[in-house]
Structure formats: structure tokens, C-alpha cells
Structure 1
Amino acid sequence: MPILLAPDKFRGSLSAAEACAAMEAGIRLVLPDAQVTALPMADGGEGTAELLTQVTKGIWHTAFVNNPLFKLIEAGFGLSTDGQTAFIDSAAAAGLALLAAPERDTTLATTYGLGQLIEQAIAGGAKTVVLGLGGSATTDGGTGLAAALGWQFLNAAGQTFTPTGGTLIEIAQIIPPASPLPVRLRVACDVQNPLYGPTGAAMLFAPQKGATPVQVSQLDKGLRHLDQLMQQQLGMTHAAIPGAGAAGGLGYGLITFLGATLEPGVDVVLDAVAFDEHLSGASLVLTGEGKLDGQTAQGKLIAGICRRAGKSGVPVVALCGTLTLAPEEIQDLGLLGAFSVLNRPQQLAEAVLTAADDLRATTFNVMRLLRTYASLRL
């Protein structure tokens, strides 16, 4: 019985690889000779680049780049074994987690370091960059990234500078580089917000990065100003594209300055790990994550797995920590079944410690049931 294991991490308790190991151990108790393929997954957020590098047997590289406050740090990115594809998390150079709480000021933050990281990947031979958005400290519309990659931003005095969220309003002229980057960018983006306005990058997300109401208004005006200049000087606007407001307007910047395409994160990840190839010939997919809830059905990893497996007629069973989906939602998602691994009253600290054993035991029960059902049908 060929079985494909494709879980996400169980946040705070198990990595995706550890979840695969626990699932396989449960399967072996029932079907010792089963053909099991482990394919640890990610949702396109932080940690995706490293996992994709591991799954595709690539090589992890590090480089010194600027953090969101222009301080030098060491950040990593992956290159596929053939060197043609780079895997990068935007949070590696522009992430909020890189800053201590007192340092967080999105009016001062830049995506410049992310541009440097992309530049390093291109220098390493990458022809395609798979970039995951999320967890950013910035609201600069991607101008910092663009400045690192050859775009020039001039103020009213004609001086070149690297804009931040708080200085977008000072841009007077935008000059593109002589030639576009020789790379294709596939951007994993699950945010649908526009660049500015009530549901834009500043209004909706800047408060989470420490912005005050006055700063939020300043940031929103700056993003509007940026797009107006792009329209007036270069005849383009991408402000209303779903996802333009992702990661502080980085989605907009990637489209506008680098010609990137924004794609559902799950599809970018599934393509990067050649999920469809692994799915071919499988009789069952076991997936899972820490929590199955209403967000799961909104384009998240398990929804994408169910969609692709459903087209091939392969059943999918999901295992999780917390399960809040109603039976109708489980059915609509396309799952054969969904099961919580929690089997007794527990505090969170205990559940984390026993997660691997609980996942192993639940996988055992699911596989025993499926084996018995298959025998009865015969």
C-alpha cells in the first residue's frame, strides 16, 4: 500500500519532518512492509525556505545582509541541487522577529536586506526564486528591496536615498535600472489585501508592527504617494492587485519592481516539492498540522493537498492537535476523515511533550481501521 505523508509542522511541538517520523512509526505497527514516502510540508510562511531546501536535497547558504534597521546580520537561503532555484523567506532579512520589541518601528524599517539576499541567490546561479512572504517588520512598499537591486529613488533635492515606510512621501523621482533582473520570481502569498486604504498594508497590518495611529496614517499616505508616482512617471499601477498589501506592501514591490507573480502559497510549495509526482501511484495521503479550523479551508496547505489529491482520486486523512471543523466542513474540504491526536485532558505543556507519541498512536488507529475496512471489502 503506497502511502504519502505530507504534514505541515505541529506548531510548538513537532516539525514537519518529526511529524512524518511519528506517522511512519504508527503505520509500521500495522503495515510493516508498507511503501511510505515522507514529504514534510510547509505553508509558505517562515521556515518554508529551509524546509524546501531540505526536501529537494538542496544546499543552504548564508550571506551578510542588512536587517530591517540596516544593521548587518547573517541570513540564509537555499539553492536546489542544480543551482537553478533559490528558496528564500522574506522574514530572513525583513522579519519582525529579527528586532527586539523596543526596536520595532515600521516607519524606519526596510526590505533592503531582502534585495541583497535575492542578489546573492542570483550570483549563485539561480534562475528562479521561490519567495515566501510573511512576518515582515516593514511597510516600505518593497522600495528597499528595489533599491538594493538597482532602482533609484530621488528626493526633491535630486539626492538618491533608500526609502523606508516613513520616508516614502519624500520620493520625488523613480528611476528603473538599465535592465531587468535575469530571474523569475514565484511569490507565495496568501494575503489578498490591496496596497493602501482601509484594508491596505498600513491600516490593517502596521499596528501589529508597533505603529501608532498617527504613523499608520503617515504610512498609508506614503504608499499612496508611491503608487501615484509609479503611475505618473512609469505608467504602471498595481495597488489594487490582491496581495499588493502583503508584508507591508512588499507584494506590490515585487510585482512592480521585479515583475513577480503572486501565487497561493500552497501551490508554490506543492510545486516546489513536486507533490503531484509523489502523489502519482499513492493509495493514501496522510497530512496534518497543529490545528484544523476555519482557516484550513481558506486556501491553506491541507485544502491544497485535498484539491490535488481529489483530482487523482487519492483519499486524504488529516491528523491534528486541535480540531474545530464541523463534519460538514471536513466533508466539503475533501477529507476522508480528520482526527485529533489529543486523547485525554491535558495542559498545553504536556500535549507538546507527548505530541510524537500521540500522533504515532492515532496514526496506528487510523491505519488499523483502514486495513480492516479494506479486508472486509474483499
Structure 2
Amino acid sequence: MKIVLAPDSFKESMSAHEAALAMERGVRAVFPDAQCVRVPMADGGEGTTEALVAATGGELVEADVHDALGRPIRARYGYVAAERLAIVEVAAAAGIDLVAPHERDPLRASSAGVGELLLDALDRGATRLVVGLGGSVTNDGGAGMMQALGVRLRDGDGADLPGGGGALARLASLDLSGLDRRVAGLTVEIASDVTNPLLGPEGASAVFGPQKGATPRVVDELDAALHTWARAIADATGRAVADEPGAGAAGGLGAAFLAFFPATMSSGVDVVVRAAHLEEKLDGADLVLTGEGAVDSQTLRGKTPFGVARAARRHDVPVIAFAGYVGDGAEVLYDHGFAALVPIVRSVTDLPAALADGPANLRLAVETVCRVLALRS
């Protein structure tokens, strides 16, 4: 029997890798000789790097970079040497969790640290890049990232602009002559479920700016500055990306990746499915086990279990999903390739206890399902 174990993380309880291990222990309690193939998953957000490193046999490496306020930090990303693949979450360098709420200032926050991560990956030999967009505290349209990669942003007097979204209001021209030439040789997959454009009422500033510390007045300033940035990008590259779906992701980093890199933007889970080679690992499988902290009707909107089920359906392999919480409307998933939805919490408890007991509860839930399956064998 071949069983593919492809869970996402169970937030605040266990990583995707830990969840896959718990599932394997549950399977082996009943089927000790089963072929268990662990494929930790993610959907482009938090945990994408760790999941892909575990699934591809890569390693976590560190680089000296700067956070959004210019302070030196050590940031991690994944690297798969055999594939010359770097896996980068922008939040590792420009994440909102790295900046205290009272320090958040999108007018001066810079994405330069993301560019520094990319430089480290290029120095390591990367020719492929998977980028998880999300969780940034910046709203500079990726300008800081491009400055770190060698692009010069100049004002009307020819002086270089400082970092931050506010400075873009003074942008007069872009000089791409210093852009690291290795960028052109990258193959870039952007993992994001955000479809917002760069500008306007549905854009980066209006939708995501307030959570990064922007007042209504600052939102207007940032949106106007990004209009200037978008015009400069179009003039310098010939690419009008402001209205592209996802251009507004991560404070506009999506726009920079689309404009300056040979990049494609896809659903986060689809990118992870490809990078983790899930389709190949499904070949010959009898069953797929997936899951995450909660499943409900929103799971259909690109969450990991839905992406796994969609891939499994193409191989005619049944899927069982496990979750800490099975919410309202989850039954709709039965129409999309799920054979069963299994809650893992075993008794009435509080949230801290449920989170702490997550790995044990998941193992026992998988073991119970396998005992039912064993009745048929």
C-alpha cells in the first residue's frame, strides 16, 4: 500500500513536516509495511519555505540582510542545490512580524532586504526561484528590492532616492544599467493568492496599507507614489503591470517581480504542488492524506487541501482530509474529490490544549481511519 502524506501546517500547533510525521506514525500503527511518502505542503504563505525544503530534500540557509527599517537581521530561505532552486518568503526579510506595531511606517519601510536575500541566492548558484508573497510590512512596490539588486531611482535633480514608499513621490527616472545581470537568467514562480492590482481602491495601499500602519491620509500618499512608480516602470521596461492581478501583493512586490523578472504568478498551492513534485509522487498511490488547522467552505479558495485534492483527482486517488476544526459548509468539499473530512480533536477542550495536543491527536485520528480501512482488507 502506498500512501501520500501531504498536509499543510496546523497553525500554532505543528509544521507541515511535523504533521506528515504524525500521519506516518498513525499509518504505521496499523499498516507497518505501508510505503509512506511524505510531501509537506503549503499554499504560498507562512511555512512555504519549510514545506518545500522538506519535500524536495533541500536545506535551510541564512543570509545577512536588513529588515524593513534597515536594521541588520539574519533571514532564512530554502535552497535545493540539485535543482539550483531557491525558495524565498518575502516576509523573512520584510515581514510585518519583524516590526513592532508602534514602529510600522509604510512611508519609509523598504523591501531592500528581499533583494539582499535574492543576491545571496544568486551567489549560491540559483537559477530558479519560488517566491512566497505575503506578510510584508512594506508598501514600496518592490522599489527597495530593485535598489538592492542594482537599480537606481533618481529624483528630478538626479539624486538617488532613499528607501520607502513615500520617497517614490519624488521619483523622476529609473536607471537599470546596474541591475544584476543574473536576474535575467532566473525562472521565477510567484506563489500568491492575492489578486489585487497595484493601484486604486482595490490596490496595495488602500487594501493592505492600514494594517501596516497607514492612516487614510498616508494611504492616499502611498497610492499617489505608486502611480509615479508604475509610470516609471512602464517607461523603463515597456511593461505596464499596475493592473495585473497580484501586482498589489506584498505591498506591490508583485508588480516589481512581474516587471523586472521573467516571472509568472500562480495560485500559491499550485506553485507548491509543482515545486514539491506532488504529481510524480502520486503515481501508483492508493490513498492521499492531507489537512490543516481548519477546513470549511473557504477551503475551495486555493487552500492546500483543495490543491492536493485537485492533483489527486487527476490521478484517481481518494483523499481524506484531517483538521483541528471542520467548519460550516465543509460538506461542499465532497463534491471536489474528498472522500472524508475527519476532525482530530478527541474531547471538549480549550484552544491552548488542542494546539498542544495536535500532533498526538492527528496521529490517533489517522490510526483510527486506518483501522477502519483495515476492516476492508
Note the 1:280-359 alignment, pairs <5 A: 280-326=283-329, 328-359=331-362
Pair 1:367 & 2:340 matched = no
Pair 1:107 & 2:110 matched = no
Question: Does the 8 Å CA contact 1:2/1:36 hold for their aligned counterparts?
Answer: yes
**Structure 2 SS opposite 1:79:** strand
Pair 1:87 & 2:87 matched = yes
Distance 1:106 1:213 in 2: 12
The residue aligned with 1:23 is 23
Note the 1:94-133 alignment, pairs <5 A: 94-133=94-133
Distance 1:298 1:90 in 2: 22
Query: Once the 2 structures are TM-superposed, how far is the Cα of residue 206 of structure 1 from its aligned partner?
Result: 0.7
Question: Does the 8 Å CA contact 1:83/1:125 hold for their aligned counterparts?
Answer: no
The residue aligned with 1:269 is 272
The residue aligned with 1:240 is 243
**Structure 2 SS opposite 1:30:** coil
Q: Which amino acid aligns with 2:365?
A: T
Q: Which amino acid aligns with 1:360?
A: R
The residue aligned with 2:208 is 205
Distance 1:223 1:248 in 2: 10
Query: Once the 2 structures are TM-superposed, how far is the Cα of residue 327 of structure 1 from its aligned partner?
Result: 5.6
Q: Deviations over 1:181-237 (max 9, x none)?
A: 221211111101100111110100011111111111111111112112333454321
Distance 1:77 1:228 in 2: 32
RMSD over aligned CA atoms reads: 1.6
How many aligned residue pairs are there? 374
Distance 2:55 2:239 in 1: 38
Distance 1:238 1:154 in 2: 21
Of the three residues 183, 188, 195, the one matched with 2:186 is 183
Question: Does the 8 Å CA contact 2:295/2:330 hold for their aligned counterparts?
Answer: no
Question: Does the 8 Å CA contact 1:297/1:303 hold for their aligned counterparts?
Answer: yes
**Structure 1 SS opposite 2:69:** coil
Query: Once the 2 structures are TM-superposed, how far is the Cα of residue 180 of structure 1 from its aligned partner?
Result: 6.3
Note the 1:116-155 alignment, pairs <5 A: 116-155=116-155
Q: Deviations over 1:72-122 (max 9, x none)?
A: 111122221326111111111111111122211111111111111101101
Cα distance change, pair 196–327 in 1 and its aligned pair in 2 (3 A): closer
Cα distance change, pair 155–11 in 1 and its aligned pair in 2 (3 A): same
Q: Deviations over 1:315-336 (max 9, x none)?
A: 0000000111436412123211
Distance 1:187 1:356 in 2: 31
Query: Once the 2 structures are TM-superposed, how far is the Cα of residue 268 of structure 1 from its aligned partner?
Result: 1.2
The residue aligned with 2:281 is 278
Query: Once the 2 structures are TM-superposed, how far is the Cα of residue 168 of structure 1 from its aligned partner?
Result: 1.2
Question: Does the 8 Å CA contact 1:93/1:117 hold for their aligned counterparts?
Answer: yes
Q: Which amino acid aligns with 1:134?
A: G
Cα distance change, pair 211–88 in 1 and its aligned pair in 2 (3 A): same
Query: Once the 2 structures are TM-superposed, how far is the Cα of residue 3 of structure 1 from its aligned partner?
Result: 0.5
Structure 1 stretches of 5 or more lacking a match?
A: none
Cα distance change, pair 327–194 in 1 and its aligned pair in 2 (3 A): closer
Structure 2 stretches of 5 or more lacking a match?
A: none
Question: Does the 8 Å CA contact 1:155/1:161 hold for their aligned counterparts?
Answer: yes
Distance 2:198 2:335 in 1: 32
Distance 1:292 1:317 in 2: 12
Note the 1:54-93 alignment, pairs <5 A: 54-82=54-82, 84-93=84-93
Pair 1:195 & 2:213 matched = no
**Structure 1 SS opposite 2:338:** coil
| TM-score normalised according to structure 2 size | 0.95
